[in-house]
Structure 1
Amino acid sequence: MSSHGGWIAYQYSPSMGAAVLFIILFAVVTLLHTYHLFRTRTWFFIPLVLGGYFETVGYIGRAMSAQQSPNWTTGPYIIQSTLLLIAPALFAASIYMELGRIIVLVKGERFALVRVNWTTKIFVGGDVLSFLMQASGAGIMVSGASGFGGGNSSKTGQNVIVGGLIVQILFFGFFLISALLFQRRLVSHPSAATAADHTPWRKHMYALHTSSILVLVRSVVRVVEYVQGTDGFVMSNEVFIYVFDGLLMFVLMVIFIVIHPSEVNCLLGRGKTMTTKGGLSVSDGQMLV
């Protein structure tokens, strides 16, 4: 049914064409990441790969909803609303872990805003909190929408999701500042920068900066979406889910195909690199996460 006690799944008829397009896009890029994950043993990118599968299945849910219009059932709606919401938190976990590895690679521990052995713990800890808040908020909201949680459950769920998104924004904002400050400090010390120049650290930092901005923009739009509610402008227009969520997250995954972190991992002796260009040898070192 399209409604449950006054609840309506969508304020529009979901586009089948757009859903299928994004299923294909995410399926292709996720399969590429899966191949490179096992080939290069870049195990700390497992969360990002899982996030790619979440995105793919999420858009399958939207396609199912498009096929059902206007008599939507809750199953496909739950799939797309939950998985598309929490997938970027999985991307964030891998992004956080890469920064610590880059800092160790260039021996730039003294330039880091946060001690390296705490960097991953702090940021991934915040990411886990954000993930749990968003997932639980989605569960509460869906239970209310389905008529099982009472009239206030949907609003409570939205508030919990907003809280989780704000946590994500705060930690990602702090992460971006930390990454930018680290790079500025390293570059401002010629001896350290020169010593680090034999490693391709700059392109990996730019990948982190760009991906962080993409997640921040996406999360801000999502906050506006849930603050406005189901009758708000963002939730009432399907274009936002594709332009400010799907497209941004797809670009993020493409960035990490082009600038794959296996290069950093290999130089640390923790796996294999995707290529051997520039005389970089393939390492079968420790397989550490």
Structure 2
Amino acid sequence: MSDQALTPQQQIVQQLRIGCHGYVDGFNTSYGYMPSLAAGIVFLVLFGLSMIVHTVQCVWKRTWWTMVFTVGCMTEVIGWAGRTWSNQCPYNSDAFLMQISTLIIAPTFFTAGIYVLLGSFIKLLGRESSVLPPSLYLWIFCTCDVISLVVQAIGGGMASAEADKINGNTDPGTYTMVAGIVFQLFSITVFVVCAADFVRRTISKGLLHRVRGSIVPLFAAMIFSVLCVYVRSIYRTIELAQGWDGYLITTQRYFIALDGAMMVAAVAVFNVFHPGWLLPKVAGGSDSQRKMHSEDGGEEIEMR
């Protein structure tokens, strides 16, 4: 459609999407609201601090796999920077796409860390603590996350291409994104069931006695983080299912509470209860790091 064929209002919409323009009455933003500057700054600070602390903790304790938390925080920072930018330039399409793509991807890094942590617990407490071998958690559920993200990215690209057009049809892209996030919710639900079974087996079989000292705080932190990610996944599934004009996606307080706050809690809890301090080494290390001997037919591992 040429500029001559556009109505005056449609021409204004096209111009607003380029560069930086303040809010104009009668012309709604892609969000359906004006992104909060205060929320943007708060989450930039919170995720930024968590990222710095996770980096220091990772290097200090040499638990390199926890770098996924750092990468996840960095992705969240980029996303919230996009929303802060949108507060100043509410119609800018680049700022909108910047935040929507990164904030969908970021939790995947947190779940990857949780998968590794659960696998470490299984190695620590024994194979009888889980229905699956520890290595399969990372491979199965990370693969599911990647598939989900690819599908969401394809759908997001289709939807954004249509959104940039006047009277574009975003439905095919939206349905593709919904399919991706529903698949992600399904995979996380399966993981939650497996994690719940792990907790049940651990408690019913009394497997925590194999560890001298307490891994309960880290154990509880993992459960708390999983629940936060799960709540966020349910919210995003319903949000996208309602469409780009739905109630949830156009109501900012739900996004702040059920996405931003949930993800801060999910990653910051591991700043407080960091695996580098609380997770015993299963194999290797010096005598000061571990002490193992037979007790009740199993291994007992001494915490430092």
Tell me which interval the TM-score lies in, with the shorter structure as reference length: 0.7 to 0.9
2:187 partner letter: F
CA distance in 2, matches of 1:25, 1:212: 19
1:267 partner SS: coil
8 A contact 2:215–2:279 mirrored in 1: no
Could you say which residue in structure 2 is the equivalent of 1:214?
A: 228
Q: In structure 1, how many angstroms separate the alpha carbons of the residues matched to 2:184 and 2:270? A: 20
How many matched pairs?
269
Are residues 1:135 and 2:156 paired? no
CA deviation profile, 1:159-209 (whole Å, cap 9, x unmatched): 22222222222122111221221222122224x442x23153333222222
**Aligned counterpart, 1:234:** 248
Structure number with greater CO (CA < 8 Å, separation at least 6) is: 1
CA apart distance, 1:83: 0.6
1:151 aligns with 2:172: no
User: Given the alignment, which residue of 103, 107, 129 partners 1:84?
Assistant: 103
Change beyond 3 A, Cα 1:168–1:266: same
1:271 and 1:74 map into 2 onto residues whose CA distance is: 52
User: Which of 102, 115, 118 does residue 99 from structure 1 map onto?
Assistant: 118
Tell me which amino acid in the other structure corresponds to 2:178: V
Q: 2:56 aligned with 1:35, yes or no?
A: yes
**Residues in 2 aligned to 1:57 and 1:270: alpha-carbon distance in whole angstroms:** 38
Query: How far off its partner does 1:8 sit?
Result: 4.4
Q: Percent identical across equivalent pairs?
A: 28
1:161 to 177, 183, 186: 177
1:256 is displaced (CA, Å) by 0.8
Residues 265 and 202 of structure 1: CA distance in aligned 2, closer, same or farther (over 3 Å) = closer
User: Mapping of 1:51-66 within 5 angstroms?
Assistant: 51-66=72-87
Gaps of 5+ in 2: 1-10, 18-26, 287-301
Counterpart of 1:204 in structure 2 is 218
Q: Which residue of 135, 138, 152 maps to 1:120?
A: 138
Once superposed, what is the RMSD of the aligned Cα atoms?
A: 2.7
For 2:264, which of 250, 272, 276 is the aligned residue? 250
Q: Which of 202, 205, 217 lines up with 1:189 in the alignment? A: 205
User: In the alignment, is the contact (CA less than 8 A) between 2:218 and 2:279 conserved in 1?
Assistant: no
User: Compared with structure 1, are the counterparts of its residues 271 and 246 closer, same or farther at alpha carbon in structure 2 (3 Å cutoff)?
Assistant: farther
Equivalents in 1 of 2:188, 2:137: separation in Å? 12
Is 1:19 the counterpart of 2:40 in the alignment?
Answer: yes
Which structure has the larger Rg? Answer: 2
| Alpha-carbon offset, residue 109 of structure 1 | 0.7
Show the counterpart of 2:294. Answer: none
What's the offset of the Cα at 1:265? 5.4
Distance 2:56 2:155 in 1: 33
Residue of structure 1 in register with 2:290 after alignment: none
Structure 1 length as normaliser, TM-score?
Answer: 0.84
Q: Which runs of 5+ in 1 are unaligned?
A: 273-278, 282-289
User: 2:151 touches 2:176 (CA, 8 Å); kept in 1?
Assistant: yes
CA offsets 1:15-44 (integer angstroms, 9 cap, x no match): 112111111111111111111122222222
Report the AA paired with residue 47 of structure 2: F
Judging changes above 3 Å, is the alpha-carbon distance between structure 1 residues 137 and 37 closer, same or farther for their aligned structure 2 residues? farther
Paired with 2:53 and 2:32, the residues of 1 have a C-alpha distance of 35
After superposition, give the CA deviation of every residue in 1:100-134 in whole Å (9 maximum; x if it has no partner): 1111012x212311122322211221122122222
Give the 4+ runs in structure 1 shifted more than 6 A: none
Output the CA distance in 2 between the equivalents of 1:55 and 1:24: 11
Q: Which amino acid aligns with 1:131?
A: L
- Normalised by the length of structure 2, the TM-score is 0.80
Q: Choose from 22, 44, 47 the match for 2:65.
A: 44
Amino acid at match of 2:122: I
